[in-house]
Amino acid sequence: MEIRSKEFKSRAVFAIHDASLQQAMGKARDGFVGKRAQQAAELPEFEALREEAKNLKNHILENLDHYLERYEDAVKRAGGHVHWARDAQEARAIILDICKRVNAKTITKGKSMVSEEIDLNEALIEHGMEVVETDLGEYIIQLANEPPSHIIAPAVHKTKNQVSDLFEAAHGGPRKTEVADLVNEARQVLREKYFRADVGITGGNFLIAETGSSMIVTNEGNGDLTQTLAKVHIVTSGIERVVPTLDDATLFLRLLARSATGQETETYTTISTGPRRATDLDGPEEYHVVLVDNGRSKMLAGHFRDMLRCIRCGACMNHCPVYGSVGGHAYGWVYPGPMGSVLTPLIKGLDNAYDLPNACTLNGRCASVCPVKIPLPDLLRELRHLQHQQELSPVMQRRALKAWRFVATRPKLYHAGEWIAVRVLKLLGRKGSIRRLPFAQAWTDVRDLPTPEGQTFLQRWQAQRGK
């Protein structure tokens, strides 16, 4: 999808006034946060696992070339093919090539955020292929012609009523209003697609170097039907998703379901190793993995290596007050919330996503729940720093910061200014609060500023010490 992160402010305002969105987001917030907290509380080893997972990811990243080579060799030994894509355009070309070669007409897809990242659907549809998203959430937003608004719950912004409307329009009536009936209707429609599909595309939560396998974790079973019934299975994944062994993947599995959906495990964990064997009765005839760099090797080099630990659980957005208020679409690209505010500027360019690192209160909840301990607020602050250095921030803001630095590095001037400000504010205040403040209207529009007592902090501090 075309990046629209520059419209963050206007989209956020729109989102806050969208009653359906606010209703849907309210429900989601309570569910995700509560269930994760319960899982974390029930597992005494949870914190130890987070620390181990962080260390293991760091180890993998430090030896990434080695594990990728081992993984590639093992995929080939199992009869699969590995393709390397430097960027989105190369990844699309590789997948299109495979689909054209097997004369694909219908392509089913399990959930894959990398496929969103590389704009895959548009490219396939442009070449006359039918693309069917099979994860229920992805299917709903495909019908609505919208991008996902959450990395694991793509239709979290939709109410049941909206889903009823979409299904009625797409499948013909009678209109279903119960969740069970809606799910059943999608089940019947999608079954027919699985069996007709020429190519099935899934993501890969983990790539196992030991066995050359890809691992996906789902609840619905759509990823399994997608890869089992199509003639060709294509896995799309980022190069950072490799892990050395099945045991290493297990460490992340123990954290992933708990952090993502607040379950001990998801329903299905599937390990796929190569194409069907001579004696197998089902399974794909070809197995391909498309490994996508798209900015990742660049992240490995600098301050943002920590971001490559991400296992895409979505806990950071579930716990983010900004995401909870505006939803995922305001962020304007495929990855929303705190992780998206780091990834989007790094993949799509700092100047294309100026507002995202700034749409953060630095409250730190995201980092406190991240299963691989990514210091998200630090990374967002670092991005702000880069924006400032590259002069992407507004001129007025940079001038204000310069003025601030001039004053703040001169204590006498600073204290004098403070002394004046406190007195001016006291004069402005009525009944203990100030209702409107020039230059800070955005702040005072929604709340009052308490009137200062008439002394500066330092004056009071010194008076206190004198006692």
Partner 1 sequence: MMQTTQNSRDAIFGAIRSALKRSGPLPDARRAELDANVPQHTRPAQDENLLERFIRTFESRAGTVQHIASRAEIPAAVEAYRANMNLPHRAAVGAALKDLIWPADWQVHHNRAGTEELLSVSLCIAAIAETGSLMLGASADSPTTHNFVPDDHVVVLEAASIVGYFEEAWAILRQRSEGMPRATNIISGPSRTADVEQTIQLGAHGPRRVHVLIVAA
Task: Identify residues 355-394 at the interface with partner 1 (CB under 8 A).
Answer: none
Interface with partner 1, residue 279, by CB under 8 A: yes
Q: Which is nearer to partner 1, 250 or 390 (CB)?
A: 250
Q: Which is nearer to partner 1, 110 or 338 (CB)?
A: 110
Answer for which of 12, 15, 136, 367 binds partner 1 (CB under 8 A) is: 136
Q: Which is nearest to 131 in space by CA: 159, 96, 166, 161?
A: 96
- SS3 state at 280: coil
Answer for which of 147, 200, 238, 274 binds partner 1 (CB under 8 A) is: 274
> Rounded to whole angstroms, what are the CA distances from 13 to 17, 329, 352?
7, 12, 19
In whole angstroms, how close is the CB of 416 to partner 1 at the nearest point? 49
Q: Which is nearest to 129 in space by CA: 150, 107, 151, 153?
A: 107
* Site track 322-351 with partner 1 (rule: CB under 8 A), x = hit: ------------------------------
Answer for which of 10, 20, 38, 245 binds partner 1 (CB under 8 A) is: 245
In whole angstroms, how close is the CB of 286 to partner 1 at the nearest point? 12
Q: Which is nearer to partner 1, 31 or 417 (CB)?
A: 31
In whole angstroms, how close is the CB of 13 to partner 1 at the nearest point? 25
Answer for which of 159, 393, 451, 459 binds partner 1 (CB under 8 A) is: 159
Q: Which of residues 37-56 bind partner 1 (CB under 8 A)?
A: 43-45, 48-49, 52, 56
Between CA 194 and CA 199 the distance in angstroms is 9
Q: Say which DSSP state 289 is in.
A: E
Interface with partner 1, residue 230, by CB under 8 A: no
Furthest CA-CA distance within the chain = 89
Instruction: Select from 115-123, 264-272, 369-377, 428-436 the region that touches partner 1 (CB under 8 A).
Output: 264-272
Between CA 376 and CA 340 the distance in angstroms is 10
> Strand (E) positions, 283-323?
286-292
Q: Say which DSSP state 187 is in.
A: H
Interface with partner 1, residue 182, by CB under 8 A: yes
Q: Which is nearer to partner 1, 153 or 317 (CB)?
A: 153
Answer for which of 41, 301, 396, 427 binds partner 1 (CB under 8 A) is: 301
Residue entry with tokens 């579930």: 318
Answer for which of 37, 125, 169, 183 binds partner 1 (CB under 8 A) is: 183
Instruction: Select from 57-65, 316-324, 376-384, 400-408 the region that touches partner 1 (CB under 8 A).
Output: 57-65
Answer for which of 10, 20, 38, 250 binds partner 1 (CB under 8 A) is: 250
Between CA 219 and CA 105 the distance in angstroms is 27
Q: Which of residues 5-24 bind partner 1 (CB under 8 A)?
A: 24
- CB 95 within 8 Å of CB 290: yes
Report the interhelical angle of 136-143 vs 160-171 (nearest 10°): 70
Interface with partner 1, residue 169, by CB under 8 A: no
What is the sign of the dihedral through the CA atoms of 54, 84, 149 and 207?
negative
Q: Which is nearer to partner 1, 156 or 359 (CB)?
A: 156
In whole angstroms, how close is the CB of 420 to partner 1 at the nearest point? 51
Between CA 32 and CA 149 the distance in angstroms is 15
- CB 152 within 8 Å of CB 110: no
Answer for which of 106, 270, 344, 456 binds partner 1 (CB under 8 A) is: 270
Answer for which of 99, 140, 232, 256 binds partner 1 (CB under 8 A) is: 140
Interface with partner 1, residue 219, by CB under 8 A: yes
Between CA 10 and CA 186 the distance in angstroms is 34
Q: Which is nearest to 179 in space by CA: 195, 163, 198, 155?
A: 163
Instruction: Select from 93-101, 310-318, 326-334, 388-396 the region that touches partner 1 (CB under 8 A).
Output: 93-101
Contacts of 93 (CB under 8 A, 6+ apart): 85
Answer for which of 10, 20, 267, 363 binds partner 1 (CB under 8 A) is: 267
Interface with partner 1, residue 113, by CB under 8 A: no
Q: Which is nearer to partner 1, 116 or 355 (CB)?
A: 116
Answer for which of 115, 121, 134, 318 binds partner 1 (CB under 8 A) is: 134
In whole angstroms, how close is the CB of 158 to partner 1 at the nearest point? 8
What is the sign of the dihedral through the CA atoms of 398, 401, 407 and 409?
negative
Q: Which two tokens stand for residue 251?
A: 């460490």
Answer for which of 10, 184, 368, 433 binds partner 1 (CB under 8 A) is: 184
Site size for partner 1, by CB under 8 A?
100
Between CA 274 and CA 271 the distance in angstroms is 10
Interface with partner 1, residue 76, by CB under 8 A: no
Q: Whats the size of the chain, residue-wise?
A: 467
Q: Which is nearest to 314 in space by CA: 149, 448, 104?
A: 149
- SS3 state at 18: coil
Q: Which is nearer to partner 1, 195 or 443 (CB)?
A: 195
Q: Which two tokens stand for residue 218?
A: 């789902």
